[in-house]
């Protein structure tokens, strides 16, 4: 089966080659995708540019109605979308069903949020002047989305709020999860969204993605993915508006007065969701040395409940990682840590798996500052424990990584935890909660100047980022003017 592109309301085979879609679950080829070219991107951008006035001129209530239509169509296809998502990505079917439900929710929420984002009247010194500020769409918005949440991230961060704001969109998803993106577009096809407003181009980042970024008719770019790719996009976008959520290696800090049992439960529950393939996942745990032994034991007790296996088995907690690169990175980072003196606590079960992407969950203790597990983003099912002695060493450890996306603090002393959280320069900080906890209406993003990106996504924040303020100044003249 060929999972086609969707351009200007028509299904499109593209002008390039085709590529097999290989499932990480069992190595099965489940179909093919076209590899779009710069010409395909040009066709999509021009269609979006020609149609953008249709959505820009809609009332927010008309846009909201269409967003609800998309949500209804997604909900109707929830099971089939989730099954394809699991086959193509590898995440457990229970997680896939949740992601599809979140996708539908994103469109409903954006439809509600845009209704209540009021304009403002700005006070003026001149009593005969009136200044009005309102939000308008940026135009043609290019969206390049990641493979870890192929529907959830794309819809929540960009597509739903982008349409709510009145933009026309050209979407280039990660090639490795483009099949489910193509199936998602069948939901869009069922609605009253005008042709050309939302277009899907499937293709490799250096080809289709780059063509989208540099196209003269795209006004803005949204991207979620690696820091390296984000930096390339930023440099190629020139003066265009960019919204970037990039890598994360934020610390989870466990103070000596923390509830160790609660902290361990929170981290195990969160660290292995999506096989740890979340930019806000617990990448490193900085634990005070006085409680580190007890904390490690508590983690070990709980990791036994993380069942790795067939993602279509509803009792499975963790499926395979998505690709070989992730599996290799996990192995490389663990090897680096062991060579430098760290200790692997968890043990493999010795079972033979259908593909090399079945990476067993692992805890690594005695990780030190110079190890890759501390300084780099692993993006896999692993909990590194870094022991610290005092506050000075803790701050040094926090600063040893360039990422500033999400972090967490565990302490029974709420005042102490809050003060420390406020001192951390991260996009968002959790207190007595794992670093990957998030709800779709909460602003998320990295701290400016860090390796974690720029801007805020989620709810009203996405709508604000994907629109701009226009100010109109009216001069009262003639009979309307005050004497």
pLDDT confidence of residue 369 = 96
Within 10 Å of residue 465's Cβ, how many Cβ atoms?
Answer: 26
CB under 8 Å to 343, separation ≥6 — which residues? 364, 365, 366
Q: Report how far residue 137's alpha carbon sits from residue 159's, in angstroms, rounded to the nearest whole number.
A: 13
**Per-position b or e across 151-174, b if 16+ CB within 10 A of its CB:** bbbbbbbbbbbbbbbbbbbbbbbb
Helices (H) and strands (E) in the chain, counts: 16, 20
3-state secondary structure of 454: strand
| Averages of pLDDT over each 10 residues, the chain, 483 residues | 98 93 98 98 98 98 98 98 98 98 98 93 94 96 98 98 98 98 98 98 98 98 97 97 95 98 95 96 96 97 94 97 97 98 85 94 97 96 97 96 96 96 94 95 93 94 97 82 55
Distance of CA 375 to the CA centre of its chain: 21
CB under 8 Å to 458, separation ≥6 — which residues? 156, 157, 438, 439, 440, 441, 442, 443, 444
CA 241, 243, 247, 249 torsion: positive or negative?
positive
Q: Report how far residue 149's alpha carbon sits from residue 278's, in angstroms, rounded to the nearest whole number.
A: 8
Catalytic residue list? 245, 279
Q: Report how far residue 339's alpha carbon sits from residue 5's, in angstroms, rounded to the nearest whole number.
A: 47
CA distances from 179 to 143, 151, 310, 414 (A): 17, 11, 20, 46
pLDDT confidence of residue 250 = 85
Nearest Cα to Cα of residue 169 among 203, 137, 134, 136: 137
pLDDT confidence of residue 482 = 56
Strands of the sheet containing 467-475, edge to edge, are 120-122, 129-137, 467-475
Q: Report how far residue 66's alpha carbon sits from residue 193's, in angstroms, rounded to the nearest whole number.
A: 6
pLDDT confidence of residue 346 = 82
CA distances from 403 to 214, 395, 448, 452 (A): 27, 14, 10, 5
Q: Report how far residue 364's alpha carbon sits from residue 362's, in angstroms, rounded to the nearest whole number.
A: 7
Nearest Cα to Cα of residue 167 among 43, 55, 6: 55
Query: Could you tell me how many residues make up the chain?
Result: 483
Burial (0-12, 13-18, 19+ Cβ within 10 Å), 355: middle
Within 10 Å of residue 241's Cβ, how many Cβ atoms?
Answer: 17
């Amino acid at each position: 089966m060929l999972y086609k592109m969707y351009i200007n309301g028509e299904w499109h085979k593209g002008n390039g080659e085709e590529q097999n879609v290989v499932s990480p679950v069992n190595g099965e080829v489940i179909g093919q995708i076209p590899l779009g070219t710069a010409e395909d991107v040009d066709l999509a951008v021009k269609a979006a540019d020609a149609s953008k006035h249709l959505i820009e001129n809609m009332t927010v209530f008309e846009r909201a109605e269409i967003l609800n239509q998309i949500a209804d169509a997604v909900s109707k296809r929830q099971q089939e979308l989730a099954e394809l998502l699991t086959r193509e990505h590898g995440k457990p079917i229970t997680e896939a069903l949740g992601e599809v439900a979140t996708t539908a929710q994103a469109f409903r929420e954006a439809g509600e949020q845009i209704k209540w984002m009021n304009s403002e009247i700005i006070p003026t010194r001149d009593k005969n002047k009136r200044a009005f500020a309102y939000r308008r769409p940026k135009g043609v918005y290019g969206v390049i989305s990641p493979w870890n949440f192929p529907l959830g991230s794309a819809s929540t961060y960009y597509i739903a709020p982008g349409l709510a704001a009145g933009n026309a969109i050209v979407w280039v998803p990660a090639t490795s999860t483009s099949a489910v993106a193509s199936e998602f577009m069948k939901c869009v096809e069922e609605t009253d969204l005008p042709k050309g407003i939302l277009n899907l181009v499937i293709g490799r980042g250096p080809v289709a993605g780059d063509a989208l970024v540099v196209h003269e008719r795209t006004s803005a770019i949204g991207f979620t993915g690696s820091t390296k790719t984000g930096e390339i996009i930023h440099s190629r976008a020139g003066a265009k508006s960019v919204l970037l959520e990039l890598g994360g290696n934020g610390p989870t800090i466990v103070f000596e007065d923390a509830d160790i049992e609660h902290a361990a439960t929170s981290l195990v529950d969160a660290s292995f969701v999506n096989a740890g393939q979340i930019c806000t996942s617990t990448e490193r745990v900085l634990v005070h040395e006085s409680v580190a032994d007890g904390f490690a034991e508590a983690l070990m007790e709980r990791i036994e409940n993380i069942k790795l296996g067939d993602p279509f088995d509803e009792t499975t907690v963790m499926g395979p990682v998505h690709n070989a690169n992730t599996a290799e990175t996990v192995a490389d980072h663990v090897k680096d840590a062991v060579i430098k003196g760290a200790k692997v606590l968890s043990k493999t079960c010795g079972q033979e798996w259908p593909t090399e992407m079945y990476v067993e969950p692992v805890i690594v203790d005695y990780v030190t500052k110079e190890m890759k597990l501390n300084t780099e983003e692993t993006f896999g099912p692993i909990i590194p424990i870094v022991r610290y002695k005092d506050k000075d060493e803790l701050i040094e450890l926090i600063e040893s990584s360039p990422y500033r996306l999400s972090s967490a603090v565990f302490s029974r002393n709420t005042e102490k935890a809050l003060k420390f959280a406020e001192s951390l320069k991260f996009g968002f900080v959790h207190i007595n909660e794992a670093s990957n906890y998030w709800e779709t209406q909460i602003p998320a993003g990295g701290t400016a100047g860090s390796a974690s990106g720029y801007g805020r996504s989620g709810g009203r924040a996405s709508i604000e980022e994907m629109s701009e303020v226009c100010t109109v100044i009216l001069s009262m003249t003639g009979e309307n003017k005050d004497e």
